[in-house]
Amino acid sequence: IKGACLPSLRWCTRSTFFTCLPQPTILLLARRRAGYSLVRAMAEAGCPQKRKLENAPNPDGAKTIRGLDLPAFDGKGLKIAIISARWNSIVCGSLVDGCKEALATCNVTDVTVEYVAGSYELPFAAQVLLESKKFDGIVCIGCLIKGGTMHFEYISEAVTQGIMNLNLKYTTPVIYGVLGCFTEEQAKERSGVDGAGHNSGKDWGTTVVESALLRKKYLG
Which residues are within 8 A (CB) of 165 and not within 5 positions of it... i.e. 6 or more apart?
123
CB 155 within 8 A of CB 119: yes
SS (H, E, C) 133-154: CCCCEEEEEEEEECCCCCHHHH
Beta strands 174-181 and 79-85: pairing type? unpaired
The catalytic residue among 31, 86, 151, 169 is 151
Confirm whether 151 is a catalytic residue. yes
Residues 115 and 96: beta-carbon distance below 8 Å = no
Beta carbons of 128 and 172 less than 8 angstroms apart = no
As annotated, the active-site residues are: 151
